[in-house]
Amino acid sequence: MDNIVLIGMPGCGKTSVGQLLAAELGFSFVDTDELVEREENRTIPAIFSAEGEGYFRDLETRAAKCASGLKGAVIATGGGMVLRPENMEALGETGTVIFIDRAPEDIAGETHSGRPLIGNDRERVFSLYHARIDLYRRYAGHIVGNCVSPRQCMRDILQLLDKERTV
């Protein structure tokens, strides 16, 4: 069984949608941010604060390689996973990559205190979105946008996957 790899901005719903999708398909669920936190035994904000972004990106690459060894999994990636081509090459070889394209204004309207690169900074959300949008689109096999809820997003992804299998 191929994996389903979810990419997108921090706060776009990758984890929530991924958990629902995995349950619906009978797949395992893996969140690469959780893999990093488990390996380091500390939160991502703590890693960023103590070690910096470069160190975190190295950990994220290890998590991508670990997750790419799985079969039959829904993999929710960290928002910056697309910043290193080797991450996306490893993950893309194992299955279908889906970009959850949630509008930055919707992300900015929520509280994200646990997300070190955006926090509660509305302008930072827009800046990050515009800096990464081309990468998300480049690596995506499919794009799902304008989801009104995680459950609706899951349904949209299932429809895409059904169409892919019947073509």
User: Is 13 in a helix, a strand, or coil?
Assistant: coil
Per-residue pLDDT, 21: 97
Helix axes 14-25, 150-166, angle to 10 degrees: 50
The Cα angle at residue 17 between residues 82 and 119, in degrees rounded to 5: 60
CATH (domain of 41): 3.40.50.300
pLDDT grade for 107, boundaries at 50, 70 and 90: confident
Per-residue pLDDT, 114: 53
Mean of the pLDDT values across residues 94-118? 77
Amino acid at 29: F
* Number of domains forming the structure of the chain: 1
Residue of 137, 153, 135 whose CA lies nearest to 145: 153
Spatial neighbors of 9 by CB under 8 A, at least 6 apart, are: 79, 102, 104, 107, 125, 128, 129, 132, 136
* Contact of 104 with 125, CB cutoff 8 Å: yes
Give me the phi and psi of 90, to 5 degrees please. Answer: -65, -50
Place of tokens 């829904």: 74
Share of the chain above pLDDT 90, in %: 74
The pTM is what?
Answer: 0.91
Q: Decide which of 1 and 114 is more confident.
A: 1
Looking at the predicted structure, is the pLDDT value of residue 42 above 70?
Answer: yes
CA distance 129 to 10: 9
CA distance 165 to 91: 20
Parent domain of 111: 3-166
Residue of 15, 166, 3 whose CA lies nearest to 100: 15
pLDDT grade for 167, boundaries at 50, 70 and 90: very low
Looking at the predicted structure, is the pLDDT value of residue 25 above 90?
Answer: yes
Copy the structure tokens of residue 29.
């669920």
pLDDT grade for 81, boundaries at 50, 70 and 90: very high
CA distance 135 to 130: 10
Looking at the predicted structure, is the pLDDT value of residue 166 above 80?
Answer: no
Per-residue pLDDT, 147: 79
